[in-house]
Protein backbone atom coordinates (compact mmCIF):
# COMPACT_ATOMS: atom_id res chain seq x y z
CA UNK A 1 0.00 0.00 0.00
CA UNK A 2 1.18 3.50 -0.85
CA UNK A 3 2.60 5.33 2.13
CA UNK A 4 0.73 8.61 2.00
CA UNK A 5 3.15 10.37 4.28
CA UNK A 6 6.35 9.70 2.31
CA UNK A 7 6.12 13.06 0.57
CA UNK A 8 5.80 15.02 3.81
CA UNK A 9 9.47 15.25 4.64
CA UNK A 10 11.22 18.48 5.62
CA UNK A 11 14.24 19.42 3.52
CA UNK A 12 16.95 19.87 6.18
CA UNK A 13 19.90 19.83 3.81
CA UNK A 14 21.22 23.22 4.85
CA UNK A 15 20.99 22.40 8.55
CA UNK A 16 22.76 19.07 7.98
CA UNK A 17 25.46 20.59 5.81
CA UNK A 18 26.15 23.38 8.29
CA UNK A 19 25.57 21.18 11.32
CA UNK A 20 23.36 23.95 12.64
CA UNK A 21 19.59 24.22 12.93
CA UNK A 22 18.50 27.65 14.15
CA UNK A 23 14.81 26.70 14.34
CA UNK A 24 12.86 25.31 17.32
CA UNK A 25 15.74 26.07 19.64
CA UNK A 26 15.15 24.83 23.19
CA UNK A 27 15.66 27.35 25.98
CA UNK A 28 16.11 26.32 29.60
CA UNK A 29 15.39 29.82 30.87
CA UNK A 30 12.87 32.61 30.41
CA UNK A 31 13.67 35.63 28.25
CA UNK A 32 16.08 37.22 30.70
CA UNK A 33 19.60 38.34 29.91
CA UNK A 34 21.46 36.07 29.29
CA UNK A 35 19.26 33.16 28.19
CA UNK A 36 20.31 29.56 28.67
CA UNK A 37 20.54 26.93 25.93
CA UNK A 38 22.02 23.49 26.58
CA UNK A 39 23.72 24.78 29.67
CA UNK A 40 25.39 27.72 27.88
CA UNK A 41 24.63 31.42 28.16
CA UNK A 42 23.54 33.44 25.12
CA UNK A 43 22.68 37.05 24.33
CA UNK A 44 19.19 36.85 22.91
CA UNK A 45 18.71 39.10 19.88
CA UNK A 46 16.06 36.89 18.30
CA UNK A 47 12.87 37.53 20.18
CA UNK A 48 10.24 40.23 19.63
CA UNK A 49 10.51 41.18 23.30
CA UNK A 50 11.12 44.82 22.27
CA UNK A 51 10.53 46.38 25.68
CA UNK A 52 11.99 43.43 27.55
CA UNK A 53 8.86 42.90 29.64
CA UNK A 54 8.45 39.13 29.13
CA UNK A 55 10.61 38.36 32.16
CA UNK A 56 9.77 41.45 34.20
CA UNK A 57 9.12 40.80 37.90
CA UNK A 58 6.12 43.16 38.05
CA UNK A 59 4.50 41.24 35.20
CA UNK A 60 5.32 37.87 36.74
CA UNK A 61 3.76 38.97 40.06
CA UNK A 62 0.55 40.06 38.29
CA UNK A 63 0.38 36.68 36.58
CA UNK A 64 0.88 34.78 39.85
CA UNK A 65 -1.89 36.81 41.51
CA UNK A 66 -4.25 36.14 38.61
CA UNK A 67 -3.48 32.41 38.76
CA UNK A 68 -4.53 32.38 42.43
CA UNK A 69 -7.72 34.28 41.68
CA UNK A 70 -8.87 32.86 38.34
CA UNK A 71 -7.03 29.53 37.99
CA UNK A 72 -5.69 28.10 34.76
CA UNK A 73 -8.40 28.51 32.14
CA UNK A 74 -11.95 29.55 31.33
CA UNK A 75 -12.34 26.13 29.67
CA UNK A 76 -14.54 27.42 26.90
CA UNK A 77 -15.29 30.19 24.47
CA UNK A 78 -16.15 33.54 26.04
CA UNK A 79 -19.53 33.76 24.29
CA UNK A 80 -20.72 30.45 25.69
CA UNK A 81 -19.00 29.83 28.97
CA UNK A 82 -18.46 33.30 30.34
CA UNK A 83 -16.18 36.21 30.45
CA UNK A 84 -14.09 36.94 33.55
CA UNK A 85 -14.25 40.62 34.55
CA UNK A 86 -10.57 40.99 33.76
CA UNK A 87 -11.33 40.38 30.04
CA UNK A 88 -13.70 43.30 29.68
CA UNK A 89 -11.26 45.51 31.52
CA UNK A 90 -8.39 44.42 29.27
CA UNK A 91 -10.34 44.89 26.05
CA UNK A 92 -11.36 48.42 26.99
CA UNK A 93 -7.85 49.23 28.24
CA UNK A 94 -6.32 48.10 24.94
CA UNK A 95 -8.92 49.99 22.88
CA UNK A 96 -8.27 53.18 24.89
CA UNK A 97 -4.52 52.64 24.57
CA UNK A 98 -4.62 52.75 20.77
CA UNK A 99 -7.40 55.37 20.75
CA UNK A 100 -10.28 53.29 19.36
CA UNK A 101 -13.83 52.59 20.56
CA UNK A 102 -13.63 48.94 21.55
CA UNK A 103 -11.50 45.82 21.16
CA UNK A 104 -11.91 42.08 21.29
CA UNK A 105 -9.29 39.41 22.04
CA UNK A 106 -8.60 36.44 19.79
CA UNK A 107 -6.42 33.51 20.91
CA UNK A 108 -3.70 34.70 18.54
CA UNK A 109 -3.20 37.42 15.95
CA UNK A 110 -2.60 34.74 13.32
CA UNK A 111 -6.05 33.40 14.10
CA UNK A 112 -7.54 36.90 14.10
CA UNK A 113 -6.06 37.66 10.69
CA UNK A 114 -7.17 34.34 9.22
CA UNK A 115 -10.72 34.81 10.48
CA UNK A 116 -11.43 38.50 10.63
CA UNK A 117 -12.12 38.98 6.92
CA UNK A 118 -14.69 36.18 6.96
CA UNK A 119 -18.01 37.87 7.43
CA UNK A 120 -16.65 41.30 6.49
CA UNK A 121 -15.78 40.52 2.85
CA UNK A 122 -17.38 38.45 0.10
CA UNK A 123 -16.39 37.42 -3.40
CA UNK A 124 -17.91 40.70 -4.69
CA UNK A 125 -15.31 42.75 -2.82
CA UNK A 126 -11.77 43.84 -3.60
CA UNK A 127 -8.66 43.95 -1.40
CA UNK A 128 -5.43 45.82 -2.07
CA UNK A 129 -2.69 44.31 0.06
CA UNK A 130 0.96 45.30 0.52
CA UNK A 131 3.20 42.92 -1.36
CA UNK A 132 5.14 42.13 1.86
CA UNK A 133 2.10 41.60 4.10
CA UNK A 134 2.22 38.81 6.69
CA UNK A 135 1.17 35.28 5.68
CA UNK A 136 -1.82 35.38 8.04
CA UNK A 137 -3.25 38.46 6.29
CA UNK A 138 -2.84 36.88 2.88
CA UNK A 139 -4.41 33.68 4.13
CA UNK A 140 -7.35 35.50 5.72
CA UNK A 141 -8.08 37.56 2.62
CA UNK A 142 -7.82 34.53 0.31
CA UNK A 143 -10.40 32.62 2.31
CA UNK A 144 -13.11 35.12 1.45
CA UNK A 145 -12.88 34.46 -2.29
CA UNK A 146 -12.69 38.21 -2.98
CA UNK A 147 -10.54 39.78 -5.68
CA UNK A 148 -6.98 40.46 -4.43
CA UNK A 149 -4.52 42.97 -5.83
CA UNK A 150 -1.07 43.35 -4.24
CA UNK A 151 0.51 46.81 -4.29
CA UNK A 152 4.26 47.44 -4.23
CA UNK A 153 5.70 47.59 -0.72
CA UNK A 154 4.87 50.95 0.90
CA UNK A 155 4.54 52.49 -2.59
CA UNK A 156 1.80 55.10 -2.46
CA UNK A 157 1.99 55.98 -6.15
CA UNK A 158 1.38 52.35 -7.04
CA UNK A 159 -1.49 52.07 -4.54
CA UNK A 160 -3.14 55.28 -5.74
CA UNK A 161 -2.85 54.23 -9.35
CA UNK A 162 -4.53 50.92 -8.57
CA UNK A 163 -7.23 52.55 -6.44
CA UNK A 164 -8.01 55.01 -9.23
CA UNK A 165 -8.56 52.11 -11.65
CA UNK A 166 -10.87 50.18 -9.33
CA UNK A 167 -13.99 49.01 -11.11
CA UNK A 168 -17.34 48.31 -9.51
CA UNK A 169 -16.91 46.46 -6.25
CA UNK A 170 -19.22 46.41 -3.27
CA UNK A 171 -16.46 47.05 -0.77
CA UNK A 172 -12.79 47.89 -1.17
CA UNK A 173 -10.23 47.28 1.61
CA UNK A 174 -6.58 48.34 1.79
CA UNK A 175 -4.65 45.91 3.99
CA UNK A 176 -1.15 46.52 5.35
CA UNK A 177 1.17 46.21 8.34
CA UNK A 178 2.62 49.05 10.36
CA UNK A 179 6.17 47.78 10.95
CA UNK A 180 7.31 45.13 8.49
CA UNK A 181 9.40 42.94 10.70
CA UNK A 182 11.76 41.35 8.18
CA UNK A 183 12.57 44.80 6.75
CA UNK A 184 12.14 47.15 9.68
CA UNK A 185 10.23 49.48 7.36
CA UNK A 186 7.21 51.47 8.56
CA UNK A 187 4.07 51.94 6.44
CA UNK A 188 3.07 55.51 5.49
CA UNK A 189 -0.27 54.78 7.07
CA UNK A 190 -1.35 58.43 7.24
CA UNK A 191 -1.12 58.52 3.45
CA UNK A 192 -2.93 55.20 3.18
CA UNK A 193 -5.85 56.46 5.26
CA UNK A 194 -5.99 59.63 3.12
CA UNK A 195 -6.11 57.52 -0.03
CA UNK A 196 -8.80 55.32 1.52
CA UNK A 197 -10.87 58.44 2.25
CA UNK A 198 -10.40 59.73 -1.26
CA UNK A 199 -11.31 56.42 -2.92
CA UNK A 200 -13.94 55.22 -0.46
CA UNK A 201 -11.93 52.23 0.76
CA UNK A 202 -11.66 50.72 4.25
CA UNK A 203 -8.14 50.77 5.78
CA UNK A 204 -6.95 47.69 7.66
CA UNK A 205 -3.75 47.81 9.69
CA UNK A 206 -1.82 45.02 11.42
CA UNK A 207 0.15 46.81 14.15
CA UNK A 208 1.78 43.68 15.61
CA UNK A 209 5.31 45.12 15.50
CA UNK A 210 4.13 48.68 16.13
CA UNK A 211 2.17 48.49 19.38
CA UNK A 212 4.52 49.22 22.28
CA UNK A 213 7.28 50.03 19.79
CA UNK A 214 6.46 53.18 17.84
CA UNK A 215 4.60 56.39 18.66
CA UNK A 216 5.71 58.93 21.25
CA UNK A 217 4.07 56.95 24.06
CA UNK A 218 4.42 53.49 22.50
CA UNK A 219 0.80 53.44 21.36
CA UNK A 220 1.64 52.20 17.90
CA UNK A 221 1.05 53.29 14.35
CA UNK A 222 -1.98 55.51 14.89
CA UNK A 223 -0.04 57.59 17.41
CA UNK A 224 3.13 57.51 15.31
CA UNK A 225 1.31 58.89 12.26
CA UNK A 226 -0.97 61.28 14.17
CA UNK A 227 -4.17 59.55 12.99
CA UNK A 228 -6.84 60.73 15.42
CA UNK A 229 -10.22 59.54 14.12
CA UNK A 230 -9.43 56.22 12.50
CA UNK A 231 -12.40 54.69 10.73
CA UNK A 232 -10.90 51.35 9.76
CA UNK A 233 -9.96 48.02 11.31
CA UNK A 234 -6.96 47.58 13.61
CA UNK A 235 -5.34 44.31 14.68
CA UNK A 236 -2.19 43.61 16.71
CA UNK A 237 -0.40 40.64 18.22
CA UNK A 238 0.00 40.77 21.99
CA UNK A 239 2.96 38.39 21.74
CA UNK A 240 5.63 40.91 20.80
CA UNK A 241 6.27 44.17 22.72
CA UNK A 242 3.21 43.39 24.85
CA UNK A 243 5.09 40.23 25.86
CA UNK A 244 2.17 37.79 26.17
CA UNK A 245 0.00 36.10 23.53
CA UNK A 246 -3.24 36.77 21.71
CA UNK A 247 -4.51 39.04 18.98
CA UNK A 248 -6.51 42.22 19.56
CA UNK A 249 -8.96 43.47 16.98
CA UNK A 250 -10.09 47.05 17.52
CA UNK A 251 -12.35 49.55 15.82
CA UNK A 252 -15.70 51.24 16.35
CA UNK A 253 -17.99 49.86 19.09
CA UNK A 254 -20.53 48.68 16.51
CA UNK A 255 -17.95 46.83 14.42
CA UNK A 256 -16.39 45.12 17.43
CA UNK A 257 -19.79 44.10 18.76
CA UNK A 258 -20.59 42.56 15.38
CA UNK A 259 -17.30 40.62 15.43
CA UNK A 260 -17.87 39.57 19.05
CA UNK A 261 -21.16 37.91 18.17
CA UNK A 262 -20.41 36.57 14.70
CA UNK A 263 -16.76 35.74 14.10
CA UNK A 264 -16.09 31.98 14.07
CA UNK A 265 -12.42 32.39 15.08
CA UNK A 266 -13.63 33.96 18.30
CA UNK A 267 -16.87 32.27 19.16
CA UNK A 268 -15.67 28.71 18.55
CA UNK A 269 -12.28 28.97 20.26
CA UNK A 270 -11.27 28.79 23.94
CA UNK A 271 -10.58 32.17 25.53
CA UNK A 272 -7.04 33.19 26.38
CA UNK A 273 -6.18 32.10 29.94
CA UNK A 274 -6.99 34.82 32.53
CA UNK A 275 -3.34 34.92 33.67
CA UNK A 276 -2.40 36.19 30.22
CA UNK A 277 -5.07 38.86 30.38
CA UNK A 278 -3.83 40.02 33.78
CA UNK A 279 -0.25 40.11 32.50
CA UNK A 280 -1.26 42.20 29.47
CA UNK A 281 -2.96 44.70 31.76
CA UNK A 282 0.24 45.00 33.80
CA UNK A 283 2.33 45.55 30.66
CA UNK A 284 0.00 48.34 29.49
CA UNK A 285 0.30 49.95 32.94
CA UNK A 286 4.11 49.76 32.74
CA UNK A 287 4.16 51.24 29.23
CA UNK A 288 1.86 54.07 30.30
CA UNK A 289 4.17 55.07 33.14
CA UNK A 290 7.64 53.99 32.05
CA UNK A 291 7.74 53.94 28.26
CA UNK A 292 10.32 56.67 27.83
CA UNK A 293 13.21 54.94 29.56
CA UNK A 294 12.41 51.54 28.02
CA UNK A 295 12.13 52.95 24.53
CA UNK A 296 15.26 55.07 24.89
CA UNK A 297 17.23 51.90 25.59
CA UNK A 298 15.60 50.02 22.72
CA UNK A 299 16.45 52.78 20.23
CA UNK A 300 19.95 53.29 21.61
CA UNK A 301 20.66 49.55 21.17
CA UNK A 302 19.31 49.58 17.62
CA UNK A 303 21.66 52.44 16.71
CA UNK A 304 24.71 50.79 18.26
CA UNK A 305 24.00 47.51 16.48
CA UNK A 306 23.21 49.10 13.11
CA UNK A 307 26.39 51.22 13.22
CA UNK A 308 28.49 48.15 14.09
CA UNK A 309 27.20 46.18 11.09
CA UNK A 310 27.75 49.14 8.78
CA UNK A 311 31.33 49.39 10.08
CA UNK A 312 31.87 45.75 9.10
CA UNK A 313 30.60 46.49 5.57
CA UNK A 314 27.29 44.61 5.80
CA UNK A 315 24.27 45.73 3.80
CA UNK A 316 21.22 46.38 5.91
CA UNK A 317 17.63 46.81 4.84
CA UNK A 318 16.44 50.38 5.17
CA UNK A 319 14.02 50.67 8.02
CA UNK A 320 13.14 53.12 10.78
CA UNK A 321 11.92 50.54 13.31
CA UNK A 322 14.12 49.19 16.17
CA UNK A 323 15.04 46.18 14.03
CA UNK A 324 18.33 45.53 12.26
CA UNK A 325 18.00 43.31 9.23
CA UNK A 326 21.27 42.08 7.72
CA UNK A 327 21.05 41.11 4.06
CA UNK A 328 22.70 37.72 3.50
CA UNK A 329 21.46 36.38 0.14
CA UNK A 330 20.94 32.64 -0.28
CA UNK A 331 19.29 30.49 2.36
CA UNK A 332 22.64 28.76 2.91
CA UNK A 333 24.54 32.02 3.48
CA UNK A 334 21.78 33.30 5.75
CA UNK A 335 21.85 30.26 8.02
CA UNK A 336 25.66 30.28 7.94
CA UNK A 337 25.70 33.91 9.10
CA UNK A 338 23.34 33.07 11.98
CA UNK A 339 25.62 30.13 12.85
CA UNK A 340 28.67 32.41 13.04
CA UNK A 341 26.81 34.61 15.51
CA UNK A 342 25.59 31.58 17.46
CA UNK A 343 29.21 30.46 17.84
CA UNK A 344 29.79 33.85 19.49
CA UNK A 345 26.89 33.08 21.85
CA UNK A 346 24.46 35.42 20.12
CA UNK A 347 21.03 34.25 19.00
CA UNK A 348 19.42 35.87 15.96
CA UNK A 349 16.60 35.02 13.56
CA UNK A 350 17.53 33.91 10.03
CA UNK A 351 14.70 34.45 7.50
CA UNK A 352 14.84 32.22 4.44
CA UNK A 353 12.20 31.44 1.76
CA UNK A 354 9.19 31.23 1.95
CA UNK A 355 9.35 33.97 4.63
CA UNK A 356 11.39 36.16 2.25
CA UNK A 357 11.87 36.08 -1.56
CA UNK A 358 14.37 33.63 -3.08
CA UNK A 359 18.03 34.71 -2.53
CA UNK A 360 16.91 37.57 -0.30
CA UNK A 361 17.63 35.96 3.06
CA UNK A 362 18.09 38.16 6.10
CA UNK A 363 19.26 37.78 9.63
CA UNK A 364 17.07 39.85 11.91
CA UNK A 365 18.24 41.36 15.15
CA UNK A 366 16.02 42.89 17.81
CA UNK A 367 17.67 44.11 21.00
CA UNK A 368 15.09 44.32 23.77
CA UNK A 369 15.21 46.99 26.46
CA UNK A 370 15.91 44.34 29.12
CA UNK A 371 19.38 43.59 27.74
CA UNK A 372 22.24 44.93 29.80
CA UNK A 373 24.58 47.49 28.27
CA UNK A 374 27.39 44.93 28.69
CA UNK A 375 25.56 42.30 26.63
CA UNK A 376 24.85 44.75 23.84
CA UNK A 377 28.47 45.98 23.79
CA UNK A 378 29.72 42.37 23.62
CA UNK A 379 27.45 41.77 20.63
CA UNK A 380 28.51 45.06 19.04
CA UNK A 381 32.19 44.10 19.20
CA UNK A 382 31.37 40.85 17.39
CA UNK A 383 29.30 42.66 14.73
CA UNK A 384 32.09 45.18 14.03
CA UNK A 385 34.33 42.42 12.76
CA UNK A 386 31.90 39.97 11.25
CA UNK A 387 32.07 38.77 7.64
CA UNK A 388 29.67 36.67 5.56
CA UNK A 389 26.94 39.25 5.05
CA UNK A 390 26.35 40.90 1.69
CA UNK A 391 28.46 43.99 1.38
Q: Which of 33, 177, 223, 224 binds ligand PLP (CB under 6 A)?
A: 177
Which of 108, 154 has the CB closer to ligand PLP? 108
Q: Which of 109, 214, 241, 389 binds ligand PLP (CB under 6 A)?
A: 109
The interface region with ligand PLP, picked from 62-70, 105-113, 273-281, 337-345 by CB under 6 A, is 105-113
- Range 235-254, binding ligand PLP (CB under 6 A): 237, 239, 247
Least CB distance to ligand PLP at residue 367 (A): 18
Number of residues that bind ligand PLP (CB under 6 A): 14
Q: Which of 311, 315, 307 is nearest to 333 (CA)?
A: 315
Which of 248, 278 has the CB closer to ligand PLP? 248
Q: Which of 305, 294, 312 is nearest to 366 (CA)?
A: 305
Least CB distance to ligand PLP at residue 376 (A): 23
Residue 119 phi, psi dihedral angles, 5° rounding: 95, -20
The interface region with ligand PLP, picked from 26-34, 82-90, 205-213, 275-283 by CB under 6 A, is 205-213
Q: Which of 344-347's residues contact partners 24+ apart within 8 Å by CB, and which partners? A: 344/379, 344/382, 345/34, 345/40, 345/41, 345/42, 345/43, 346/42, 346/43, 346/45, 346/379, 346/382, 347/25, 347/35, 347/37, 347/42, 347/43, 347/44, 347/45, 347/46
String of contacts with ligand PLP for each residue 113-152, x by CB under 6 A: x--------------------x-x----------------
115 contacts: CB under 8 Å, gap ≥ 6: 106, 140, 263, 264, 265, 266
Which of 186, 389 has the CB closer to ligand PLP? 186
Which of 362, 390 has the CB closer to ligand PLP? 362
Which of 181, 193 has the CB closer to ligand PLP? 181
- Range 81-100, binding ligand PLP (CB under 6 A): none
Measured from the Cβ of residue 341, the count of other Cβ atoms closer than 10 Å reads 25
Which of 239, 388 has the CB closer to ligand PLP? 239
Structural contact between residues 249 and 259, judged by C-beta atoms closer than 8 angstroms? yes
- Range 285-344, binding ligand PLP (CB under 6 A): none
Residue 13 phi, psi dihedral angles, 5° rounding: -55, -45
Q: What are the distances in angstroms from CA 173 to CA 113, 205, 245, 386?
A: 14, 10, 27, 44
Q: Does 206 bind ligand PLP (CB under 6 A)?
A: yes
Which of 212, 247 has the CB closer to ligand PLP? 247
Q: Which of 59, 30, 109, 29 is nearest to 294 (CA)?
A: 59
Residue numbers of the site for ligand PLP (CB under 6 A)?
Answer: 108-110, 113, 134, 136, 177, 181, 206, 208-209, 237, 239, 247
Amino acid sequence: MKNYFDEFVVDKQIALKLDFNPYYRIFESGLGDPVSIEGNEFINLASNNYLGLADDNRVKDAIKEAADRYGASLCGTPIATGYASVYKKCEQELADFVGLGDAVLFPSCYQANCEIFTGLLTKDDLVFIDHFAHASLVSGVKRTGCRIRPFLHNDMKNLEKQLSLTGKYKRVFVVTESVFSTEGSIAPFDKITELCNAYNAVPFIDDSHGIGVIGKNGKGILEEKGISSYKGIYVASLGKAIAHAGGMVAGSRELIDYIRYTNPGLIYSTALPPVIIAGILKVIEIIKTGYESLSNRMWEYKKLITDAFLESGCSLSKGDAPITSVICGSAHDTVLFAKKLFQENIITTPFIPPSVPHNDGRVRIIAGANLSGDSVMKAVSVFRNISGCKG
